[in-house]
Chains A and B, each alone.
Chain A
Amino acid sequence: GAVVSQHPSWVICKSGTSVKIECRSLDFQATTMFWYRQFPKQSLMLMATSNEGSKATYEQGVEKDKFLINHASLTLSTLTVTSAHPEDSSFYICSADTSVTDTQYFGPGTRLTVL
């Protein structure tokens, strides 16, 4: 199956700093990438949909100025958590669409802990 990577796999930062998470499709071109977050023992919550070369579409309740998404190429999307606070601590997962199948493939996730 298609491979999606995320970097870093975990990050600890101080409150008020910004953190960037990268999502890459390694063996396919992804016109659309998705960003999710998951709180403990809860389902995946879609945060935003990102299309290459255009602005991301954010889900209701997600602050676009806090969670900056850039989809610079067909293989890379980045999520920047700006001025992170402890309540932003979560597990962030990206996924990518392939035009070959109708399946989304997920990255391994990034654990963010804000102190």
Chain B
Amino acid sequence: DQQVKQNSPSLSVQEGRISILNCDYTNSMFDYFLWYKKYPAEGPTFLISISSIKDKNEDGRFTVFLNKSAKHLSLHIVPSQPGDSAVYFCAARKKTSYDKVIFGPGTSLSVIP
């Protein structure tokens, strides 16, 4: 049973446009959400996170939106750059118990120059 889902395995976006990566989760106990970026043969790099008490968190070109009632979050990258091309993993955890992070299957983003 996949608790964190990323239904789009891949996404292509023109340089300068907005990239929107979506993520859905099923476990209502999750209260902390993270996005990681991963290049081939490298470890994931932390991008941005959001606590369940917020509905938006912004850091530079990256913004994460959380809709708790829909159990849905999204990562917006604007403007998209070719260097953003990578696999993006959505992840969730139960913050208070320092429980393991559960990862989604990832979305491969290609930003076309």
A and B co-occur in one complex: yes
Which residues of chain B are near A32, meaning CB under 8 Å? Answer: 98
Q: Nearest chain A CB to B80's CB is how many angstroms away?
A: 22
| Complex: chain B residue closest to A43, CB-CB | B105
Residue from B41, B101, B106 within 8 A of A104 (CB atoms): B101
Contacts of A109 in B (CB 8 A): 41-43
Q: Which of B9-26 contact A (CB under 8 A)?
A: none
Q: Are B101 and A34 in contact (CB under 8 A)?
A: yes
The residues of B with any CB-CB pair to A shorter than 8 Å are 32, 34, 36, 41-46, 49, 51, 89, 91, 93, 95, 98, 100-106
Contact A43 B101 (CB under 8 A): no
Report the number of A-B residue pairs with Cβ-Cβ less than 8 Å.
54
A43 touches B106 (CB 8 A): yes
Chain A residues near B (Cβ < 8 Å) = 1, 4, 6, 31-32, 34, 42-44, 46, 49, 91, 93, 95, 97, 99, 102-109, 111
Chain B residues in 8 Å Cβ range of A1: 46
Residues of A near B91 (CB, < 8 A) are 104
CA distance A40 to B38 in the complex (A): 13
Nearest Cβ in chain B — how far from A1, in angstroms? Answer: 6
Are the C-beta atoms of B100 and A91 separated by less than 8 Å?
A: no
Q: A1–B1 Cα gap in the complex (Å)?
A: 32
Instruction: Give the dominant DSSP class at A's interface.
Output: strand
Which residues of B are found within 8 Å of A99, using beta-carbon distances? 98
B32 with A102: CB separation less than 8 A: yes
* Nearest-Cβ distance from residue B21 to partner chain A, whole angstroms: 14
- Report the Cα distance A15→B109, complex, angstroms: 36
**Distance (Å) between the CB of A17 and the closest chain B CB?**
23
Q: Which residues of chain B come closer than 8 Å to A34, judged between CB atoms?
A: 100-101
> Chain A contacts of B43 at CB under 8 A?
4, 6, 93, 95, 106-109
List of A residues within 8 angstroms of B101 by Cβ: 34, 95, 104
User: B46 near A102 (CB under 8 angstroms)?
Assistant: no
Pick 20 A–B contacts, CB within 8 A, sort by A.
Answer: A32-B98, A34-B100, A43-B89, A43-B103, A43-B104, A44-B44, A44-B89, A46-B100, A46-B102, A49-B100, A95-B43, A95-B44, A99-B98, A102-B32, A102-B51, A103-B46, A103-B49, A104-B34, A106-B46, A111-B41
